[in-house]
Amino acid sequence: MYANSRSSSWPVSLVSKAATSNNSIQRLCKLRLHKNKQPEYTPRTHSPTSPSSLSSSSDSSLSAMSSSLTLPSIKLSSPSTPFFSASTNGPSRSFFRFGNQRSRVSMSVSAGSQASVSDALFNDYKPSNAFLFPGQGAQAVGMGKEAQNVPAAAILYKKANDILGFDLLDICINGPKEKLDSTVISQPAIYVTSLAAVELLRAREGGQQIIDSVDVTCGLSLGEYTALAFAGAFSFEDGLKLVKLRGEAMQDAADAAKSAMVSVIGLDSEKVQQLCDAANQEVPEAEKVQIANYLCPGNYAVSGGLKGVEVLESKAKSFKARMTVRLAVAGAFHTSFMEPAVSRLEAALAATEIITPKIPVISNVDALPHADPDTIKKILARQVTSPVQWETTVKTLLSKGLKKSYELGPGKVIAGIVKRVDKSADIENIGA
């Protein structure tokens, strides 16, 4: 719909940010049913409620509701604790609800439990309101300046400083740009700032109601980790540790070989693939290129060996591309060039407790939601070598009836891409 004829509406700056934003690129369960409530990812500033006070006060009403659902026979859990607690030494996790206006289902997986939840749990999800989180490339000096004035958001930055060992908020607000743009800094910065945007929204009038209405989430490349944290799949701290390692592993993989990324503007995906095929005929196997980011009609990012990218750029005009834009990234993200990062991610993910998300989180790899923690871990490990299916993700959400979406975090890249897929889509940006 928006292929070649509309490509001229893309400013080069937005093209570069849009393509880069996803380049940098998760047992036995306890079931609770809740009615007409939704996510409560909430940093707390008061003492946590003791476990004994979080007994089964709502179990009777939950049990009555459970008969209307066909779900695994598993134990009802007690009311939720917050996703993050400022007054505790360790992470706590909120239990999000998902579903439509009838009932919400919430799951947690006990540490050390062995049984797997069905990965098909979210297959029939019907989205109404979505949170969308940006990826690498959305960062900009000055981000976090507004969010720092919200106590709950300030706590997130403080926790991040303790984990990272440096003042993340200072770099976000003051730069320098070169430091913020580095893969090892920008990934943690965007993760934390995007969740800080959730707290900024919560602090506004009507913000909690918006958060409560969200029944699906996703993120562009790195943003998938943010979405999983929001959905309660892992703690804020564990997510940040994963993101930190991810950035370091991807940078190291990029340093190991000469590679690059380029955004191809003004062609549909079939034409871009033909362009890649033509370039690959002239370079050795180690230099070949492929589509790495399926962003939106008329905007696709290609990654590969430096020679392959140069050949592709030279041929683009003959394929009627409007332009190509070389991206300022460390290397060929979302291709086999990132293979050295996979084993490090696998080891880190294996050591991380991940539970079933409380609302569907759409994967970049296959544009599907996954409920099984082991499946999520495998997908996250392979994400860095797999093309990002963002265009399919957005189209699927809209075709399933998505009414409203919110972009949370720095920049407005996601909103621009969504509008490119469907200009009538209702999306609002919540910056930080």
- For 240-286, write each residue's pLDDT tens digit: 999 999 999 999 999 999 999 999 999 999 999 999 999 999 999 99
Token reading at 398: 């809209």
* One-letter amino acid of 286: A
Alpha-carbon gap, residue 337 to 283, rounded angstroms: 16
Mean pLDDT of 196-207: 97
Give the pLDDT score at 369. 98
CB 31 within 8 A of CB 99: no
- pLDDT at position 22 over 90: no
Give the pLDDT score at 367. 98
Bridge partner residues of 108 (DSSP): 30
Give the pLDDT score at 99. 30
DSSP state string for 169-198: HHHHHH--HHHHHSHHHHHHHHHHHHHHHH
pLDDT in tens, 326-352: 988 899 999 999 999 999 999 999 999
CB 291 within 8 A of CB 331: no
Classify 401 in phi/psi space as left (phi over 0), alpha (psi -120 to 50) or beta. Answer: left
Helix (H) or strand (E) holding 240: helix 236-255
pLDDT in tens, 167-188: 999 999 999 999 999 999 999 9
Nearest to 22 by CA among 328, 380, 293, 216: 293
Give pTM, 2 decimals: 0.77
Alpha-carbon gap, residue 193 to 2, rounded angstroms: 31
- pLDDT at position 91 over 90: no
Neighbours of 347 (CB within 10 A): 12
CB 303 within 8 A of CB 337: yes
- pLDDT at position 16 over 50: no
Helix (H, G, I), strand (E, B) or coil at 5: helix
Give the pLDDT score at 117. 73
Helix (H) or strand (E) holding 343: helix 339-350
Mean pLDDT of 374-378: 98
Q: Residues 259, 262, 267, CA angle at the centre, nearest 5°?
A: 140
Q: Give the residue numbers marked as catalytic.
A: 221, 334
- How many whole angstroms from its chain centre is CA 94? 18
Classify 72 in phi/psi space as left (phi over 0), alpha (psi -120 to 50) or beta. Answer: beta
* Percent of the chain clearing pLDDT 90 (strictly above): 71
379/69: higher pLDDT: 379
* Percent of the chain clearing pLDDT 70 (strictly above): 73
Alpha-carbon gap, residue 72 to 256, rounded angstroms: 47
Residue pointed to by tokens 């469907």: 422
Give the pLDDT score at 328. 80
Helix (H) or strand (E) holding 406: strand 404-408
Give the pLDDT score at 120. 87
Counted residue by residue, the chain has a size of 432
Mean pLDDT of 162-170: 98
- pLDDT at position 132 over 70: yes
Instruction: Round the average pLDDT of the chain to a whole number and report it.
Output: 80
- pLDDT at position 200 over 70: yes
Give the pLDDT score at 329. 87
Answer whether the bond into residue 176 is a cis peptide, omega within 30°.
yes
Alpha-carbon gap, residue 333 to 11, rounded angstroms: 23
Question: Angle, nearest 10°, between helix axes 183-203 and 236-255?
Answer: 150
pLDDT in tens, 45-85: 333 223 333 233 333 332 333 333 333 332 222 223 333 33
Give the pLDDT score at 167. 98
pLDDT in tens, 141-157: 999 999 999 999 999 99
Mean pLDDT of 211-224: 98
* One-letter amino acid of 197: A
CB 59 within 8 A of CB 13: no
Give the pLDDT score at 205. 96
Helix (H, G, I), strand (E, B) or coil at 137: coil
Give the pLDDT score at 116. 56
Give the pLDDT score at 118. 85
- Rounded to 10 degrees, the C-alpha dihedral 56/58/60/61 comes to -160
Neighbours of 5 (CB within 10 A): 10
Alpha-carbon gap, residue 268 to 273, rounded angstroms: 9
Strands across the sheet with 404-408, in order?
361-362, 216-219, 129-133, 404-408, 427-430
11/403: higher pLDDT: 403
Confidence bin at 24 (pLDDT 50/70/90): very low
Alpha-carbon gap, residue 104 to 83, rounded angstroms: 17
Helix (H, G, I), strand (E, B) or coil at 390: helix
* One-letter amino acid of 268: D
Contacts of 274 (CB under 8 A, 6+ apart): 319
Give the pLDDT score at 384. 98
